[in-house]
Amino acid sequence: MIYKVSLNGKIYEVEVEKGEACIQAEYDAAAPSAAPVAAAVQAPAAAPAAAPAATGSAAAINAPMPGNINAVKVTTGQAVKKGDVLIILEAMKMENEIVAPKDGKVGQIYVQKGATVETGAPLIEVL
């Protein structure tokens, strides 16, 4: 699986295979050590899902990568604003914040803490 990661204004392609990661871009020698690169690997913006939606304005959020659900930070019916953290998804020993793509209310929650998800699995719906 290949992810695009932005770090200090540069975009890197990161390929993940069998638990290993490698950067497929020219690394700027002046940049700090690999620790900030790891911090920059966050959940890519999730596309609207094919998950069941109550209305045409619902935004179902899919898992951007396989991982484990460490926390569900919201409840059904809760009001959220764009950028609010909805779910914490652990992937490759990193916590990724899954955020609300728009203002609205939490619709259906498809996962719970401790669940394992695959890429594209529906996580939550924002109405």
Residue-wise pLDDT for 24-65, tens only, equals 444 444 444 444 444 444 444 444 444 444 445 778 899 999
pLDDT digits (tens, 9 = 90+) for 107-119: 999 999 999 999 9
Assess if residue 8 is contained within a domain.
yes
Q: What is the CATH number of the domain that holds 71?
A: 2.40.50.100
Assess if residue 48 is contained within a domain.
no
Residue 17 confidence class, pLDDT cut points 50, 70, 90: low
pLDDT score for 19:
52
Tokens at 58, concatenated = 């619902």
Q: How many CB atoms lie within 10 A of CB 121?
A: 16
Query: Structurally, how many domains does the chain consist of?
Result: 2
Assess if residue 6 is contained within a domain.
yes
What is the mean predicted confidence (pLDDT) over 1-19?
73
What b/e sequence results for 49-69 when a residue is b if at least 16 CB atoms lie within 10 Å of its CB, and e otherwise? bebebeeeebbbbbbbbbbeb
- Which 3 state secondary structure label does DSSP give 60? strand
pLDDT score for 75:
92
Domain region containing 27? 2-40
Contacting residues for 44 by C-beta, under 8 A, at least 6 apart: 3, 4, 64
pLDDT score for 56:
52
